[in-house]
Amino acid sequence: MISVIAIFLSFLKIGLFAFGGAYAVLPLIEEEMVINTGWMTFAEFSDLVAIDELTPGPIIINSATFIGMKLGGLPGALAATLGCILPGCVISLLLVVLYRKYREIPVIAEAMRTLRCMAVALIFSVLLKMLVSAIFPSGLNNVSDISLLTLALVVASFYVMRKYKTNPLYVMLACGGITLMLSLISGTA
Residues 26-45 that bind other proteins (CB under 8 A): none
Q: Measured between alpha carbons, how far is 172 from 97 in angstroms, rounded to an integer? A: 33
**Per CB under 8 A, 5 contacts other proteins:** no
**Per CB under 8 A, 162 contacts other proteins:** yes
Nearest to 64 by CA among 27, 24, 6, 10: 10
> In a 3-state reduction of DSSP, which class is residue 28?
helix
- Closest contact distance (angstroms) between CB of 106 and other proteins is 5
Taking CB under 8 A as the criterion, which residues in 78-97 touch other proteins?
Answer: 81, 84-89, 91-93, 95-97
**Per CB under 8 A, 145 contacts other proteins:** no
- Closest contact distance (angstroms) between CB of 13 and other proteins is 11
**Per CB under 8 A, 9 contacts other proteins:** no
Classify each residue of 29-54 as buried b or exposed e, where b means 16 or more C-beta atoms within 10 Å of its C-beta: bbebbbeeeebbeeeebeebeeebee
Options 6, 21, 37, 75; binder of other proteins; rule CB under 8 A:
21
Q: How many other β-carbons are positioned within 10 Å of the β-carbon of residue 83? A: 23
Options 15, 32, 71, 136; binder of other proteins; rule CB under 8 A:
15
